[in-house]
Amino acid sequence: MLKGKTAVITGSGRGIGKAIAMKLASFGANIVINDIPSSDYADATCEEIKALGVECIVVKGDVRNSEDVAALIKTALDTFGKIDIFVNNAGITRDGLMLRMSEEDWDLVLDINLKGAFNCIKAVARPMMKQRGGSIINIASVVGVMGNAGQANYSASKAGLIGLTKTTAKEFASRGIRCNAVAPGFIASDMTDKLSDDVKKEYFSAIPLGEFGTTEDVANVVAFLASDMSGYVTGQVVNVDGGLLM
Ligand code: NAP
């Protein structure tokens, strides 16, 4: 389905980003793994991907830094000649009730989750325009639509990312570039492992399908949005949340 395509996934050394990279590789795409310079996981993930029979490189860099992002795009183009799929996955949480949230925690989350995606879209749009095609997928969150106590910074960053997705879809549609968001609910990962058992049980009771999703559940939807099977889909937010938000 993606044979010969090139996919760049930010923050893909581990977690949901790694699952996306593995899934796109399993459909034949060559992969560029991006992660922060201190990442302990990126190189091992790259070896796992190569074992699937596709090419893979690691380009470390911080999505907050536009020079790092320019180097990421340049290295991907120098290596593979084109970028067909770009996934803005890098994201963090720094939770806390609003009255106690520091300005630093607000800025850090907005910088990585929202400005990072802006930097990447701006940088990848030009080569995609030249190619007259591409699929950009932003990993948002249901809390960007629902809000969530204790996540003022995170929910605002993800709501912003949804606005950015729709604007990108409108600005670049005439150039054949599609842009969609995937909004996961609660996905079993390092991020949700930090929750206590009591909090997990409370969340399960609010999810119609009764459990957390898997990283592969998210990756499956990303693969659809990355492929020509979604050729008439742009500007959409697809929830992968077991029915939490409907
Ligand atoms: P994760 O396990 O913490 O992975 C995040 C990845 O992003 C890590 O590889 C991390 O590097 C990397 N990263 C952090 N800051 C970066 C930066 N400035 N530049 C480049 N890479 C950076 O998180 P996850 O659960 O897989 O989440 C992935 C995405 O899904 C995020 O956007 C998150 O908001 C979203 N999401 C997750 C859930 C969930 O339930 N897990 C739900 C909704 C949405 P290090 O390994 O070095 O830290």
CATH of the domain at 66: 3.40.50.720
Q: How far is the CA of 220 from the centre of ligand 1 (A)?
A: 17
The answer to whether residue 120 sits within a structural domain is yes
Lowest mean pLDDT among 107-111, 191-195, 198-202: 191-195
190 pLDDT more than 80 = no
pLDDT above 90 for 233: yes
For residue 228, give Cα distances in angstroms to 1, 2, 4, 209, 243.
8, 9, 13, 29, 26
Compute the distance from residue 11 Cα to the ligand 1 centre, in Å. 6
In the chain, the number of structural domains is 1
Altogether, the residues listed in the chain come to a count of: 246
Please give the Cα distance from 171 to 136 (Å, whole number).
13
Give the per-residue pLDDT at 199: 85
Residue 191 has pLDDT above 80, yes or no: no
Per cent of the chain over pLDDT 70 is: 100
- Residue 216 binned pLDDT confidence (cut-offs 50, 70, 90): very high
pLDDT of residue 172: 98
Whether residue 1 is contained in a domain is answered as no
Confidence of residue 193 (pLDDT cuts 50, 70, 90): confident
Q: Which residue CA neighbors atom 31 of ligand 1 most closely?
A: 91
Average pLDDT, the chain: 97
Residues 143, 125: Cα–Cα separation, whole Å: 27
Within a domain: 157: yes
Active site residues: 154
Tell whether pTM > 0.95. Answer: yes
Other CB atoms closer than 10 Å to residue 73's CB: what's the count?
21
- Flag whether 69 is in a domain: yes
Ligand 1 pocket, mutate which of 9, 12, 35 (most atoms under 8 A from CB) = 35
Mean pLDDT, residues 151-168: 99
Summarised one tens digit per residue, pLDDT across range 113-130 is: 999 999 999 999 999 999
For residue 245, being part of any structural domain is answered with no
pLDDT at 108 (0 to 100) = 98
Structural domain contains residue 246: no
pLDDT higher than threshold 80 for residue 141: yes
pLDDT at 192: 78
3-state secondary structure 154-169: HHHHHHHHHHHHHHHH
Task: Please report the pLDDT score of residue 218 as a whole number.
Answer: 98
One-character DSSP codes across the chain: --TT-EEEETT-SSHHHHHHHHHHHHTT-EEEEEE-TT-SSHHHHHHHHHTTTS-EEEEE--TT-HHHHHHHHHHHHHHHS---EEEE-------B-GGG--HHHHHHHHIIIIIHHHHHHHHHHHHHHHHT-EEEEEE--THHHH--TTBHHHHHHHHHHHHHHHHHHHHHGGGTEEEEEEEE-SBSSHHHHTS-HHHHHHHHHHSTT-S-B-HHHHHHHHHHHHSGGGTT--S-EEEESTTS--
Q: What is the pLDDT of residue 153?
A: 98
The binding-site residues of ligand 1, defined as CB within 6 angstroms of any ligand atom, are: 10-11, 13-17, 34-36, 38-39, 41, 62-64, 89-92, 112, 116, 139, 141, 184, 186-187, 189-192
pLDDT at 111: 98
Cα separation values, 50 from 12, 47, 53, 193, Å: 14, 5, 5, 28
pLDDT tier, 208 (very low <50, low <70, confident <90, very high otherwise):
very high
Domain span at residue 114 reads 6-240
- The CA-based angle 181-95-139, given to 5 degrees, is 10
Lowest-pLDDT range of 66-70, 163-167, 200-204: 200-204
Mean pLDDT of the 20-39 span: 97
CA–CA separation, 83 and 119 (whole Å): 16
Residue 195 confidence class, pLDDT cut points 50, 70, 90: confident
